[in-house]
């Protein structure tokens, strides 16, 4: 039967019995659980009493909605009831709890003992069922977790024309299974820890033993264990805690929601971090070129992939520098323009009351507002509002003489070029630095842009991700890894793994 629950909270902050060992008295254990959990309505306690006795012999504790109630009713409870007919008091039969655990193990497949209340609560609140036996100073936790989750669907943020359509979900074990389906090797090891003093969020570290560097694995493990925070609700909590350059605008932790992307990087000796409740995986160490590469590059011919990758690099430079180049040339270096183009631009700007810098900043800020509004609005109207708003505002601004038509073209091309960057986390630094380069162009012209590029390059070369150079294999230049840097060479030329993997296991394939 289900024990009636009484809410006993008196408004005081009572300490939780996390370090207390379980008692051999089942009544005492149940009272401790009820007190620590505040008699919550979703905590179900089903009790079994010995035949011909009022003494409590066993109990099953679980969270309603997180555990499989069907298994509890049809198997666990049934085994316990039948066992009560053979032994009415476990204190007289020391082997009875172990024998009962073996019976449960044959039907469930995952039964482990627990001795501390803290671990009991962690298992219970993770969806496992707790089996308490009278006369035993330890309980058994049955992994019968079951809750409603999102099905594996196609990614909406990282789309591709060719390749797998599946993406990660918010369920940790579903995500790990998606990766294991692609890497069926016993060297794929998983380590799971709970992070968050209150949330106790499961965080899993995945790596290929013998391929990933032990120094990188130990560093990732050390940084995860060093996190002391009250809660982890998304992978971003972990990313900010473990990244190297905490004040840099560039991400030093790669994130993706594609299982095939994670599998390919694990094969290169990297470490993946999956957080329960997050449909994204973090990958470390990472390099700058990884943010420009797409998983689709490896599913089509090398010539096509190389051309598209070069196009992305060019688009990245356009997104970063086009507004600043327009400002510098129209403000300081008009003699660089052909006479006809100069006359056309002068005619357009004749009635514009603002300098080119103010004009560009106003248009960029307006477009960023429209972009953010399109993301936050309902999907059915978000894109329509952003596109229509851009067209209407741009056309009205030109007709009102606030901005020139050339500036509208520059801002539009810049915005379109931003969307060619596959990784959203890399497009944000480009958008931020664009305003910095616009300020340098307005102050010093092309000289300011060149100095800004030198500073940016020095900053990128100084970054490291978990001990590995951020700009590798470009800086330091590694000749043997150029087949998958700026371009992608044919697959039959991939003989070695990147230097981020162990030196003793660098061969991808044998030379023919």
Q: Is residue 383, in this structure, part of any structural domain at all?
A: yes
Interval 16-35: pLDDT, tens: 656 788 888 888 888 888 88
Q: Is residue 19, in this structure, part of any structural domain at all?
A: no
Interval 445-497: pLDDT, tens: 999 999 999 999 999 999 999 989 999 888 888 887 888 888 888 887 777 77
Q: Is residue 102, in this structure, part of any structural domain at all?
A: yes
Q: Are residues 305 and 454 in the same domain?
A: yes
Interval 228-272: pLDDT, tens: 999 999 999 999 999 998 899 999 999 999 999 999 999 989 999
Q: How many structural domains is the chain composed of?
A: 3
Q: Are residues 251 and 354 in the same domain?
A: no
Q: Is residue 496, in this structure, part of any structural domain at all?
A: no
Q: Are residues 44 and 93 in the same domain?
A: yes
Q: Are residues 119 and 243 in the same domain?
A: no
- Cβ within 8 Å of residue 268, ≥6 positions away: 497, 498, 500, 501
Q: Is the pLDDT of residue 426 over 50?
A: yes
Q: Are residues 262 and 313 in the same domain?
A: no
Q: Are residues 227 and 89 in the same domain?
A: no
Q: Kindly report the number of other CB atoms within 10 A of residue 491's CB atom.
A: 13
Q: Is residue 484, in this structure, part of any structural domain at all?
A: no
Question: What domain range is 189 assigned to?
Answer: 172-286
Question: What pLDDT is recorded for position 456?
Answer: 96
Q: Are residues 45 and 187 in the same domain?
A: no
Q: Is residue 294, in this structure, part of any structural domain at all?
A: no
Q: Are residues 108 and 256 in the same domain?
A: no
How far apart CA 220 and CA 214 sit, in angstroms, is 10
Strands (E), 157-307: 188-195, 201-208, 254-256, 271-275, 281-284
Q: Is residue 70, in this structure, part of any structural domain at all?
A: yes
Q: Is residue 420, in this structure, part of any structural domain at all?
A: yes
Question: What pLDDT is recorded for position 90?
Answer: 44
Contact call for residues 189 and 209 (beta carbons, < 8 A): yes
Interval 392-420: pLDDT, tens: 777 787 777 788 888 888 988 998 898 88
Q: Kindly report the number of other CB atoms within 10 A of residue 150's CB atom.
A: 12
How far apart CA 90 and CA 53 sit, in angstroms, is 13
How far apart CA 179 and CA 262 sit, in angstroms, is 7
Q: Are residues 279 and 304 in the same domain?
A: no
Q: Are residues 33 and 126 in the same domain?
A: yes
Predicted TM-score (pTM) of the model is: 0.83
Q: Are residues 281 and 310 in the same domain?
A: no
Which helix or strand (DSSP H or E) is residue 357 part of? helix 356-376
Q: Are residues 418 and 271 in the same domain?
A: no
């Amino acid at each position: 039967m289900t024990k009636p629950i009484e809410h006993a909270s008196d408004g005081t902050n009572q300490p939780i019995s996390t370090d207390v060992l379980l008692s051999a008295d089942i009544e005492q254990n149940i009272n401790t659980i009820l007190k620590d959990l505040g008699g919550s309505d979703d905590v179900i306690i089903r009790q079994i009493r010995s035949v011909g006795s009022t003494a409590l012999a066993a109990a099953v504790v679980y969270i309603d909605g997180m555990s499989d109630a069907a298994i509890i009713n049809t198997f666990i409870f049934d085994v316990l009831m039948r066992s009560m007919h053979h032994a009415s008091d476990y204190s007289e039969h020391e082997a009875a709890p172990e024998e009962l655990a073996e019976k449960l193990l044959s039907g469930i497949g995952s039964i482990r003992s627990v001795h501390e209340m803290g671990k009991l609560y962690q298992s219970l609140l993770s969806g496992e069922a707790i089996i308490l036996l009278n006369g035993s100073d330890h309980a058994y936790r049955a992994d019968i977790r079951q809750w409603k989750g999102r099905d594996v669907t196609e990614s909406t943020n990282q789309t591709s024309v060719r390749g797998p359509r599946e993406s990660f979900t918010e369920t940790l074990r579903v995500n790990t299974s998606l990766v294991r389906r692609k890497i069926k090797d016993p060297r794929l090891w998983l380590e799971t820890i709970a992070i968050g003093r209150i949330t106790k969020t499961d965080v899993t570290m995945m790596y290929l033993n013998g391929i990933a560097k032990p120094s990188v694995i130990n560093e990732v493990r050390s940084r995860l264990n060093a996190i002391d925070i009250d809660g982890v609700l998304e992978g971003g909590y972990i990313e900010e805690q473990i990244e190297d350059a905490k004040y840099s605008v560039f991400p030093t932790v790669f994130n993706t929601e594609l299982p095939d992307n994670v599998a390919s990087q694990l094969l290169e000796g990297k470490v993946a971090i999956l957080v329960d409740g997050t449909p994204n995986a973090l990958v470390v160490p990472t390099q700058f070129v990884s943010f420009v590469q797409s998983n689709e590059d490896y599913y089509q011919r090398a010539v096509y992939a190389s051309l598209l990758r070069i196009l992305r690099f060019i688009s990245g430079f356009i997104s970063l520098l086009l507004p600043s180049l327009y400002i510098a040339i129209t403000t300081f270096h008009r003699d660089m323009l052909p006479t006809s183009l100069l006359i056309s631009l002068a005619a357009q700007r004749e009635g514009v009351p603002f300098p080119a810098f103010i004009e560009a900043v106003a248009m960029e800020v307006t477009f960023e507002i429209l972009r953010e509004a399109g993301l936050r609005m309902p999907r059915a109207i978000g894109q329509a509002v952003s596109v229509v708003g851009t067209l209407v505002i741009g056309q009205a601004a030109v007709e009102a003489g606030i901005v020139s038509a050339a500036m509208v073209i520059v801002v539009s091309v810049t915005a379109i070029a931003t969307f060619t960057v596959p990784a959203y986390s890399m497009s944000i630094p480009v958008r931020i630095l664009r305003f910095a380069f616009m300020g340098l162009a307005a102050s010093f012209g092309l000289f300011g842009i060149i100095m800004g590029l030198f500073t940016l390059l020095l900053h990128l070369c100084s970054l490291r991700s978990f001990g590995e150079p951020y700009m590798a294999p470009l800086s330091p230049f590694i000749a043997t890894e150029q087949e998958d840097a700026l371009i992608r060479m044919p697959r039959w030329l991939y003989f070695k793994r990147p230097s981020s993997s162990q030196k003793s296991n660098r061969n991808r394939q044998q030379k023919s």
